[in-house]
Amino acid sequence: MLQRTPASWNQRLSSASSVSRAQLVSIAWPIILSNLSTPLLGLVDTAVIGNLGNAALIGAIAVGGMIFSFLYWGFGFLRMGTTGLVAQSMGASQPNQAKATFYRALLLGTSIGMLLLLAQSPLLALALSLIDGSQAVESAALSYCQIRIWGAPISLAYLAVMGYLLGIQQTRALLALQLILTGTNIVLDLLFVVVLDWGVPGVAAATLLAEILAMAAGLLLVRRHLRRQGVSLRVSWQDLLDYRALKRMLIVNRDIMLRTLCLIFAFAWFTNEGAKSGDVILATNAILMQFVAFSAFFLDGFALATETMIGKATGRQNADEINQVLVFSAELGFSTALVLAATFWLSGSAIITMLTNAEAVRSSCEIYWLWAVFAPPVSVACYLLDGAFIGATRTAEMRNAMILSLLLYLLAWWCFQGLANHGLWLALYIYFVARAVSLAIYLPRLKLFTGTAWR
């Protein structure tokens, strides 16, 4: 059900009817800074526990954090789907539709989180059974998870808040929320672990309380934005439970979830196959993948900027604007990827020396080093195209492209396994390229403008 659009919203749209490189950068840089702040929290968690002098507690934090990272990553559609649908509503001058999309995602995230709470016992037992840790590690990890799981409804609803703010291109607000989350967590880590000596439960409690505070701040930011646009905070049940809108949201989220599960499997497969080659190769790949992950912090910034700008252009049914966004994101993304590759080339040896003092691992890293150096320019296209297709909510195409790419990845590993770890990295490169090529084949569909937010 469409409602009259406030004049302030229309004025804002008309003043931002064209795109530029500067606009893309202005959206991307807060995301990049937000991404770069994320590892800091893990370092602080590890540091405060590490100083307790018990290696099992360090392992417990690593295991517990990994469980929740994978769990919430699997529900990433709550953020991605919301961004695309909200951005399209923004482009189509439908603020009430954007608001209804946000409320639906908020309700869905909270509901899934409540289900996780109800199923926490078998869920945590299954997760810990898949990890071959010592009894001490598993026991401490369980105590961590039993506290963190109570934040599931908050954390999943928070993904909807992130999706809405990104959809309206408020990335500085996202950066502020990330700083609140990280800063609060660090302060509470020091209080609960160093001062009060709560150990692993203290780290979990710090994260839980920080998530609650960030969620509260996020809701205030959404509320402020709606009021500035002259949009009522209320939404009718008719709009909230609109059958067509609900069906579309569920289809979009289903496709993104399947795509994400394929992505998780691909990287889990990479880690597992490396582990089969021994501890040295496992450690080597873990270190080199840190460079891949670091480059993703930067490239994701441009991918998410592409996501929200493509979504807005789709809402306007503006094919020329879509073309502009694709060109600008490619220019900026590939330039950044080349800078990252050059930086890795010049400083990588020194960084590896800092990361490990094991001579066998250092020597192994030198053998496989070039795979990490060239990963940014090889992978950047799939990041950017992912953003474009999420923004246009062309999720069926994303799902199909990811399934095909995963099959090609596994086939490549089977063909090149005789090359050992070089073959594994070659298969990963083929996976990156296959994702980009398969999505590029679908590019004309970005401009068909069917099934978009205003229809």
Instruction: Determine contact, residues 214/37, Cβ cutoff 8 Å.
Output: no
Report the pLDDT value the prediction gives residue 274, as an integer from 0 to 100. 84
Residue with tokens 């598993």: 138
Q: Distance (Å, rounded) from C-alpha 17 to C-alpha 90?
A: 12
Q: Which structure tokens are listed for 348? A: 């990588």
Map 307-376 to HEC letters. Answer: HHHHHHHHHCCCHHHHHHHHHHHHHHHHHHHHHHHHHHHHHHHHHHHHHCCCHHHHHHHHHHHHHHHCHH
Counting DSSP H helices and E strands in the chain, the numbers are: 18, 0
On the CB side of 174, CA atoms within 13 Å amount to 32
Q: Distance (Å, rounded) from C-alpha 426 to C-alpha 432?
A: 10
Q: Distance (Å, rounded) from C-alpha 37 to C-alpha 42?
A: 10
pTM, rounded to two decimals: 0.89
Report the pLDDT value the prediction gives residue 332, as an integer from 0 to 100. 96
Residue with tokens 């959206």: 27
**Residue 114, CA distances (Å) to 51, 83, 150, 422 in order:** 35, 23, 9, 44
Report the pLDDT value the prediction gives residue 372, as an integer from 0 to 100. 93
Report the pLDDT value the prediction gives residue 263, as an integer from 0 to 100. 92
Residue with tokens 């795109």: 19
Report the pLDDT value the prediction gives residue 9, as an integer from 0 to 100. 42
Based on the number of CB atoms within 10 Å of its own CB, is 22 exposed (0-12), middle (13-18) or buried (19 or more)? exposed
Instruction: Determine contact, residues 13/315, Cβ cutoff 8 Å.
Output: no
Q: Distance (Å, rounded) from C-alpha 54 to C-alpha 167?
A: 44
Q: What is the mean pLDDT of each run of 10 residues along the chain (455 residues)?
A: 42 55 94 83 75 77 83 90 94 91 95 96 89 80 94 96 96 95 93 92 94 96 92 85 90 94 90 82 84 91 96 93 95 96 89 79 89 96 96 95 97 94 96 97 86 47
Report the pLDDT value the prediction gives residue 49, as an integer from 0 to 100. 82
Report the pLDDT value the prediction gives residue 57, as an integer from 0 to 100. 84
Q: Distance (Å, rounded) from C-alpha 310 to C-alpha 325?
A: 7
Report the pLDDT value the prediction gives residue 285, as an integer from 0 to 100. 85
